[in-house]
Amino acid sequence: MAVSLILETTAYTLDQLLAVPEAQIALAGRSNVGKSSLINALAGRKKLAKVSATPGKTRSVNFYKVEPQNFYLVDLPGYGYARASHEERRKWAKLLEHYLTDCKTLKTLALLLDCRLPPQKIDLELASFARTCRLPLLPVLTKADKCSQRERSSRQKEWQDLLAVKPVLTSSSSRLGMEELWRALIAAADIAITDGATAPATVE
């Protein structure tokens, strides 16, 4: 089954957020967790999502259409970037809260977590907020290639104990876990996988 990603809409304000009948899966994580690189790895393209050398550069909500499965991956602004101004952080938090609370077709929050780091307070707070919204969580450990097998297993178990969901281990550079992550995202969107396999993303 071929999968492709198409950037359909970029929103900077609350009134620009896309209201669509299709299922949406939100991607959220700290500003240096490697979210843009992960999106590019999922898409099988190097420049679909712009990877910046400056953490926290993304300040928009980006809606990627998943074809032919017909749902959206929604890239939320990275959080926790200390050098952003208080006003910027407040604005991002408001946008994030509004989207997670009010989006009627949001199915799951894919929470991106750096495999190299122990659980961070800000990540746990977002996970807790999602739960208050009765929003299912899909934890995704990024940069797993930078950890030993033992470290990966330990971190995976640590987060599973905290969230009661086993995280998907991924690496954008080695493409570790991309097929498993696609399966998890499609399942979270309530899209049936009918052919028994998920092929790597195709380049349109």
Least confident span in 3-17, 80-94, 130-144: 80-94
List of residues 6+ apart from 193 with CB closer than 8 A: 1, 183, 186, 187
Query: pLDDT exceeding 90 applies to what percent of the chain?
Result: 66
CATH homologous superfamily for 4-188?
A: P-loop containing nucleotide triphosphate hydrolases (3.40.50.300)
CA distance 172 to 107: 24
pTM exceeds 0.75: yes
In this predicted structure, what is the pLDDT of residue 157?
98
CB-CB contact of 123 with 111 (8 Å)? yes
Residue 197 pLDDT greater than 90, yes or no: no
127 or 18, which is more confident: 127
pLDDT tens-digit readout, 72-121:
999 998 887 555 667 777 777 788 888 999 999 999 999 999 999 999 99
